[in-house]
Chains A and B, each alone.
Chain A
Amino acid sequence: MSDAPVVQFARVSKTFGDFKAVNGVSFDIQRGEFFSILGPSGCGKTTTLRLLAGFEEPDEDGGEVRLLGEVVNTRRPYERQIGMVFQSYALFPHLTVARNVSFGLEQRKTPRPDIAERVHRALEMVRLAPDTFSRRLPAQLSGGQRQRVALARALVLNPAILLLDEPLGAVDLKVRKEMQLELKALNKTLGTTFVYVTHDQEEALTMSDRIAVMDNGLVAQLGTPAEIYENPRTAFVASFIGESNFFAGRAAGRSAGQLELTLSGGETVRVPDSPALHPGQQVRIAVRPEWMDVCRPGEVPPGENALPGEIREVIYLGETLHVMVALRDGNEVTVALRNEGQLIKPLPWKRGDSAAVAWLPEDCQVLEDA
């Protein structure tokens, strides 16, 4: 039992009118996992969370939602062992912080002394001094403090699963960074399964054990942050998480475990081979800007792919230097150079310079959608 997934989505679909918000989504979430659902607005991530919470029911013949091994398709939210933190906090404005946190305990007819004790502990857990904050009303709190109250209110019930719907969307950057690390720490110390919905890729990468990237009501890719960042399977994933340069070409020949690709401009680049690829096929590849380098023409290290072009723009970003290179076929490529001190003074490139972008064949990702 303890090894069974806490959450199972088995081909779950949800339709609103003509709109398929969630279209046959399947995934498992393990006990104690920090699981993020990441995607742009309208991708179905919130609907997925609401199906999990019980605010929405799957379509008839729309698959199964299982919580702790049981099918819960039609069960009301209060019949599931879940806690939820809302995007708008959803604190009860007429109740004090303490009464907000005790709300769930009161519904469960918890004895009074227990309630006081557990509220106290929950507030301490989210680092709100109970003596200072217990008697305040939500209107007297800052955004970050409200978020903490919302978290305490959900966690005080020791839910098996905590659902978080873009909870950090409305707090400022500094508080957000702080809360991200705290949430991750809470997840590990409590052992509670966290399901986190966000449109912010950085947030998902920071906190998650695994990420499900959603697009158009489907899971586009599911994996650890490193898997998703380094091996994006589709162009959508490659551009939504981090930045990518895309190249399209036709598979030509194989040599030494590598596939040769003839790009639309006529140049040849080599990419990692895979059995799924065969000569003549249209192939699309993605290369991360920071995995590329800009070289003087004729100084490309042997074995690297290189495409000649002209420097279009040099953007100084502090940590990195973004060099935009216009290729001969008109495409523009962004290369991110790390600011390593000496490299930057003086700026090594200026607009109009002839240059070549170069990258190792193993540093590019062959996409599944051509």
Chain B
Amino acid sequence: MPLLRERVLGWLHRRPEAQAWSLLGPGIGFLVVFFLIPLLIMFAYSVMPRGEYGGVERGFTLEAYQRFFVPIYLTILIRTFVVAIICTVICLALGYPVAYAVARSGRWKNLLLFLVVLPFWTSFLVRTFAMIFLMRDTGLINTWLLKLGFIREPLTILYTPFSVMAGLVYGFLPFMILPIYASLEKLDNSLLEAAEVLGARPAARFRQVTLPLSLPGVVAGCLLVFIPALGSFLTSDLLGGAKQLMIGNLVQNQFASARNWPFGSAASFILMALVLAAVLVYLRIRDDAPEGAR
């Protein structure tokens, strides 16, 4: 056995490219089987005729794609983008200060980070149901507001755009905080001291040193929130009462209830193409930005 081990290692040692493949191989293999192949199958479905009882039939057609470009679906598409953008902006506005505070919290750092990731200990589904209990007419918020006499009638919070947004922000906030924290944590304090000696007041120090140097974290955080927010369906389903359809709900419906697999696949691919385009534009803007914003 040790002989075999040494021979394998010796063989790898002489071939750096084989070494690289032996590290990449398992991951790539997994992704090919469980991601790339299903994706190709879905793409094939999207250009095949719809089967009468779900599934697809042989043939080729672009019908599913044509069908998407009508006002009702475009409205859903635009709404999805608007919701995802607003969600990203709110997460950034709430998350940046938190990340900043955690990064400068000294010995409390680990505890605070622990609190940030604590929600992941329970499933997203359970937490979303918890939000229903919080926001419904007889929920915790309304009960307390009534008790304290701020309102006479229960507020309608649940099944509104507000509740959907609250759910999305709640779910994605840690994904904004963690990358921003990581880039702020690396920030060398002597850079801020240098800026201070050079005459920069606190606001100037933040704008000209802290913010530009934390931008990689901001970009990563925005992508990690924006992309899943675009594809989300659970939150709008449970907290929006299916009134505020997002693209994710549309896709889910096509597969689960409408049994129009080609259309569901086509909608997915249209969303994917748009996300890709949006991300490319975004990264392009960042790379073209003058030095100082990188």
Contact = CB atoms under 8 A, between A and B. Distances in A.
Interface in B174-225: 188, 190-191, 193-201, 204, 208-209, 212-213
Nearest to B199: A107
A84 B212 contact: no
Contacts of B212: 94
A82 B199 CA distance: 10
Contact of A78 (B199, B209, B213, B291): B199
Interface string A96-127: 10010001100110000000000000000000
Given A84-B194, A92-B209, A96-B291, A108 B188 contact: no
B292 interface: yes
Contacts of B67: none
B109 interface: no
A78 B197 CA distance: 5
Interface core residue of A82, A92, A96, A99 (most chain B CB under 10 Å): A92
A250 B168 CA distance: 84
Given A90-B191, A93-B213, A94-B212, A107 B291 contact: no
A131 B197 CA distance: 27
A86 B193 contact: yes
Contact of B199 (A55, A93, A108, A137): A108
Contacts of B190: 86-88, 90
B294 interface: yes
Interface in B246-294: 291-294
A174 B36 CA distance: 57
B291 A84 contact: no
A59 B118 CA distance: 41
B200 A107 contact: yes
A262 B209 CA distance: 65
B194 A86 contact: yes
A175 interface: no
Contacts of B209: 92
B197 A83 contact: yes
Interface in A141-163: 153-154, 157
A53 interface: yes
B213 A94 contact: yes
B198 A103 contact: yes
A98 to B, nearest CB: 10
Given A86-B190, A94-B213, A137 B291 contact: yes
A87 B208 CA distance: 21
A347 interface: no
A180 to B, nearest CB: 22
Contacts of A94: 212-213, 291-294
A362 to B, nearest CB: 47
A103 B195 contact: yes
Contacts of B194: 84, 86, 90-92, 153
A107 to B, nearest CB: 4
A95 B292 contact: yes
Contact of A104 (B191, B198, B293): B198
Given A92-B208, A93-B191, A96-B291, 5 more contacts: A55-B196, A90-B188, A91-B194, A94-B212, A94-B292
17 contacts: A53-B193, A55-B196, A76-B196, A77-B193, A77-B197, A78-B198, A83-B197, A86-B194, A87-B190, A88-B188, A91-B194, A92-B191, A93-B191, A107-B201, A153-B194, A154-B198, A157-B199
Interface of A: 53, 55, 76-78, 82-84, 86-88, 90-96, 99, 103-104, 107-108, 137, 153-154, 157
